[in-house]
Amino acid sequence: MINISEYSPILSESKNFTQSANGDQILAYRIVLPEIYSLSENQLDEIHSTWVRALKNLPKCIFLKQDYYIKREYDGKKMPADTYLQKATKKNAIGKIYTQHVCNIFFINAGNRYLKSGSITNPFKKPPSEEAIKKQIQLDQAFKNEISAAIEFLKGSSFFSIAPLQDGHASRLAKLYFNGFENDKVTDIIRQDEKLYIGEKRVGTFVIKSVKQLPENVSSSVVDSKMSTGEYQFFRGMFDGFGLELSFDHLYNQILFFDPHSDLKKEVMSLEHNLHQTRQFSPDNKKGSKDLKKYIDEMADDDKIRLVKAHFNITFFAEDQQSYKSYQSQITQRFKELDITPYYPTGNIQANIYNHSFFTYASGLDKGNAFIIDLQQAVCLFSNISSYREDKEGIYFTDRVSNLPLLKDIWDVKKKYIKARNFIIVAPTGEGKSVLANTIFSQLLDQGYYIVINDLGDSYKKLALLYPDITVYLEFEPGKPLGINPFYVEKGTEPNIIKINELVEFVRTLYLRDKQISDEEEVSIRKILNYYYQNISENRSFPNFYYFVEFLNKEKLLETKLEIDSDLFNAKSFLHLCSEFVGNGSYAFLFPSDAKELDIDLSGKRLVINEFGKAAGDPLLISILLNLSNAIDRKLIWEDKTKRGYTFYDECAKQMKFPNVLNTLEWKFQSIRKQEGGIGIVLQTPNQFPKNETAESIIDNTQMYFILNNTGGYEDIVKRFKFTNHQHHQLKSITNNFSADAITKYSEFMFTRAKHSNILRIHLAEAVRCAFLTEGPEHMKIMDLYNEYDSMEIAINKFISNNKQLTS
């Protein structure tokens, strides 16, 4: 039995510096590895190179990389539960089982105290007096500087996130490690019948302690057979199959002993000499001598070779004998796939390996459990990937491994990932783009964002009904006023240049329709607008402006007062074409002459939905309506930079048929970030983007993509958005699960943020799924219930309750 409370392995700790009871000096760091499924073959090569370059110049020390994979139950403590949708989402997440992965790295300065004894030693023997130890273990500043250089090199890589362990962390690790990673109790380590137990858990250990165990070729990456098919390939590190794929508690310890390269080279030469001397007694000795001679010659010709001594072990914890055999079998199978025969120790040897795989005791590892190997080969055996990375804030999606809630930051206030917050959703009909968009916008609303949605498909009616107090729902009805007065300015104020330019674009839309405006006409309209606001203080509206221009033209004031020649502005043409919007004109209903009825009240509102579906067949109407929405953008989002806000264009292809709309989108994609805002659009295919400079400018100003399942393939998407080959394979792997008998229904999509991409899921609570349905019988039933109860929350709850009664 080991009593860690009586014989602590830690003498003292300060921040990430630990002094162990046996005199070792240790610097400890937490490292976050890249996300599972996110790495290409080339990126794995880059990670391998980064590790080699960071470690190759270490001084005499021990390097321990320790990966913990511990099963946990998701508690949802950090998830908000203030709104209806938040409560349903949190309830759906609590209790999910997942594997928590933590990776720590330790740099251990043990002087000459390691790999010396061939016998089993007890690391828990009573240490010398504290004063005697402290006199011996003053940290060597040169050692600290060299370790800092290695850490800074690793930090410079885009693949890792590294931070020093904090005060007290070393002691907490010791308690967890020697208690079998039980959080809620203290237990014993017991050796019984050549078996090792920690409390009620049996411990098993697989070891690589000889180069002979390794296959002929080791590499930094292998094909991930679990995720790859004939159509696409995923890659992982050679030993990444011993990580998250093993869904039970286990550790992967990677220990490197850095001696002077020349000393290790002499050991290799001595071993070769001994084998050569005995070559006649054994074919293995003869072959070993030949191989080592060849390797010694390679070292002489290649100064990149850096020899180290290495030890690797995988240790697992089983609750009972049946589990023990199952876990043992799973690990054995993975070794077979790599053509590796592991060593499986028992008794005292296993206990020694387990004890000395902890960072304070690594220097006491028996020398028979370590072997000489080139650093580049040793690093091939490192773990490379971790579970999905979560941001500190953002939108909850779901990971691909455990259907666990996963925060992804799409705003990025510190601009760590992106400089522009613009995004594009690519989703064929029926693949869930409305569910994805509703998922994003409902959470943004819960977080206080301001949102303007321009839609042609009535996909956000339920969203409006779930947030009635903060929503304005503007639905175009033929023959009815829009409720928007683009000429309105608050009483006592005058329009600034931004407002005037918006009105220039608005007037151009009514006057020139889909034609481009000349510079002369643009200046002329701007002059007239400024003169209008200088002289008209009440009932400002388009009809009022029209009659003002009619008056100026009749009285010859355009030429004399504003110096606008008829060649610069054709007033007769303007009055003729715009007559459709006043009096008895076909579109006069859009802008009633009574301006008091026109301006919508946006005070206290954070969601404006412009539903223009009933105007979809009229290109002129669509142009006008989209132009008017710009005024809402400006008032709701642009005027106050302290507000976080998004403008969103659904069914964007239908809207981009008009050149002025595409130009407006380009301008917003370029400039909205300066107003602390973002813009998003939906396309069914990138081919709906015209092939011109304007569309390319929009793509260049987009740093986030949400790509959903596309049965027609992804070649056009990859080509247009300049995705990599690995991203193409990620796209091909997208799979939805809408099966009625599925344990967890979900849809998948590729989320790309700057250069990083991975497959995420949308896995919704039933109440949330019902809230985001936009068509079909279930949707209609929910809307009928809403009409009955006048509450979307009650309607959804009633619908779910009724369904349960029908199926019970």
Weakest-pLDDT range from 33-47, 95-109, 633-647: 633-647
702 pLDDT band, cuts 50/70/90, is very high
pLDDT at 213: 93
806 exposure class (CB count in 10 Å sphere: 0-12, 13-18, 19+): exposed
In terms of Cα–Cα distance, which of 47, 38, 36 is closest to 386?
Answer: 36
Q: What is the pLDDT of residues 707-718, one digit of tens each?
A: 999 999 999 999
End-to-end Cα separation, the chain, in angstroms = 54
* Position 484 pLDDT exceeds 90: no
In terms of Cα–Cα distance, which of 443, 368, 389, 463 is closest to 121?
Answer: 368
pLDDT at 273: 39
Mean of pLDDT values over 359-372: 90
Give just the sign of the alpha carbon dihedral 635, 641, 644, 646. positive
**More confident site: 285 or 775:** 775
* Position 418 pLDDT exceeds 60: yes
pLDDT at 38: 96
* Position 245 pLDDT exceeds 80: yes
Mean of pLDDT values over 492-503: 86
Q: What is the pLDDT of residues 726-752, one digit of tens each?
A: 999 999 999 998 876 656 789 999 999
What six digits make up the tokens of 71?
A: 């099963």
Cβ pair 421, 410 in contact under 8 A:
yes
Percent of the chain with pLDDT over 70: 88
- Separation CA 766–CA 778 (nearest Å): 12
Q: What is the pLDDT of residues 296-321, one digit of tens each?
A: 555 554 556 788 999 999 999 999 99
Considering the chain, what is the average pLDDT of its residues? 87
Mean of pLDDT values over 253-264: 82
Q: How many CA atoms lie within 13 A of 90 on its CB side?
A: 14
Name the pairing type of β-strands 97-109 and 307-318: unpaired
Strand partners for 200: none
Q: Tokens 């070779």 appear where?
A: 305
Cβ pair 609, 472 in contact under 8 A:
yes
Strand partners for 644: none
Percent of the chain with pLDDT over 90: 60
pLDDT at 361: 93
Helix (H, G, I), strand (E, B) or coil at 362: helix
- Separation CA 165–CA 183 (nearest Å): 19
pLDDT at 119: 46
* Position 128 pLDDT exceeds 70: no
Q: Structure pTM?
A: 0.88
Strand partners for 64: 106, 255
Cβ pair 431, 709 in contact under 8 A:
yes
Helix (H) or strand (E) holding 798: helix 792-807
pLDDT at 627: 80
pLDDT at 699: 93
DSSP classification of residue 479? T
* Position 591 pLDDT exceeds 60: yes
Residue 249 makes CB contacts below 8 A (sequence gap 6+) with 69, 70, 71, 180, 181, 201, 316, 317
Burial call 739-748: b when 16+ CB within 10 Å, e when fewer: eeeeeebbbb
Helix (H, G, I), strand (E, B) or coil at 310: strand
Count of residues for the chain?
A: 808
